[in-house]
Amino acid sequence: MLQVKGAQASPDREEAVLLQGNEACVEGALAAGLDFFAGYPITPSSEIAELLAARLPRRGGKFIQMEDEIASIAAVIGAALGGAQAMTATSGPGFSLKQENIGFAAMAEVPCVIVDSQRVGPSTGMPTSPAQGDLMQARWGSHGDRPVVAYYPASVAETYRLAIRAFATAERLRLPVILLLDEVISHMRERVTLKPPAENELPKRRQIQAATAAGALNDYPVYRADAEEQVPFLPDFGRGYRFHVTGLTHDEKGFPTENRVIAGALHQRLVEKVRKVQDELAQAEVTGADPAETLVVAAGGVARSAQVAVEDLRRAGYSIALFRPITIWPFPEKAWQSRVAAARRVVVVEMNMGQLYYVVDRLTKRAPVELCNQVNGELITPEQIVSFIKG
């Protein structure tokens, strides 16, 4: 059971429950302190909005069903600037519509969380069928060079944990963080134990601590970054600070500028604040033989099939392991390089036309990289993967 405690809901004790992936996403978001959600229902993410419509008002939070996906992410950005822990949820078509404002949030450094439960596309595609066609959209969907952090769980329990982490990362780095799901993970039910997040796992907004003269509140350089972490503090609207927010290239006070030095420094900092903690953010799970002659790469729902296939092949005597990126962006390059050096063959399993394959192929120099894929609305089975590897 979850108890509502003031501004936060968290498990009052560890308890095993049967949850759907979308339900686990809601529980993780609430445990992280979610207090604002704006969205537009779309399969296979709709349960997230439905549950939060009931849960958020009970704890004093705000739920708004907007007129469309563009308005939803715009409302989330506004709420986040006002101090809320804010989130929206959608699927591929809605994710496409949100891209312009995701870029705005990256430029204006607005911390928020966007959940994208993938389905077959392009366009409206197959609403109730699984796919993984949004990996590259999560990375490159919005124009310009922008920092991106995207998590991709492979279980209901991991969905709960990564929902919490998404909020913490958004606040730490002041950027929109993407939680990728797919129809398999969203609608799968598993027995999980919800653990209350530790204090250091919760999101913390970096507030201005220094006393500031009243006259300086209107002139505070709100985009002046912390020298070490390259992330500026963010005063909530209503705390007395007055600053400008724009998607244009801006100076430290938020006002548009075409000064080449200031513009170059801003774009460099926006990317660098993620790059400098990339190794810490980028996580992967590796199971199986170490070293392994064959490395299978899979993420999200299809990683479940790949795990079973790897276990079957190991029992048959194969030297094989599964590399599962938990952080899709930034891709866990360091972990990959540490395992691929001994491999003679790499097989990427995914439900798209090769989006993860292109990344892995670029990072793999000595072993051939093969693609085992399917895009027909059906999850790739362990038997298909075993058959592909056996050739």
Helices (H), the chain: 21-31, 46-58, 69-81, 92-108, 135-140, 156-173, 183-187, 260-275, 278-281, 301-315, 333-340, 355-363, 382-390
Q: Does 191 have pLDDT greater than 90?
A: yes
Distances from the Cα of 254 to the Cα of 119, 148, 246, 307, 346, angstroms = 38, 21, 7, 48, 47
Q: Per-residue pLDDT tens for 119-128? A: 999 999 999 9
pLDDT exceeds 70 at position 213: no
48-52, 209-213, 371-375, 380-384: least confident range: 209-213
Residue 228 confidence (pLDDT): 81
Q: How confident is the model at residue 46 (pLDDT cuts 50, 70, 90)?
A: very high
Give the Cα separation of 302 and 305 in Å (integer).
Answer: 5
Cβ–Cβ contacts within 10 Å for residue 341, how many? 12
* Count of residues making up the chain: 391
| pLDDT tens digits, one per residue of 72-112 | 999 999 999 999 999 999 999 999 999 999 999 999 999 99
Q: Which of 167-181, 223-237, 259-273, 362-376 has the lowest mean pLDDT?
A: 223-237
CB atoms within 10 A of CB 123: 8
> C-alpha 370: how far from its chain's center?
26
List pLDDT tens digits, range 309-349.
999 999 999 999 999 999 999 999 999 999 999 999 999 99
For strand 15-20 and strand 2-5, is the pairing parallel, antiparallel, or unpaired? unpaired
CA distance 89 to 48: 7
The confidence score (pLDDT) of residue 216 equals 65
Strand duo 62-65 + 112-118: pairing: unpaired
| d(C-alpha 351, C-alpha 376), whole Å | 8
With contact defined as beta carbons under 8 Å apart, do 237 and 82 qualify? yes
Instruction: Give the pLDDT band of residue 235 (cuts 50, 70, 90).
Output: confident
Gap between the Cα atoms of 122 and 199, Å rounded: 41
Model confidence band, residue 214 (pLDDT cutoffs 50, 70, 90)? low
Q: What pLDDT, on a 0 to 100 scale, did the predictor assign at position 16?
A: 85
Residue 9 scores a pLDDT above 50: no
Considering the entire predicted model, what is its pTM? Answer: 0.94
pLDDT (average), residues 22-37: 97
What does the alpha-carbon distance between residue 181 and residue 304 come to, in Å, rounded to a whole number?
13
Residue 13 has pLDDT above 90, yes or no: no
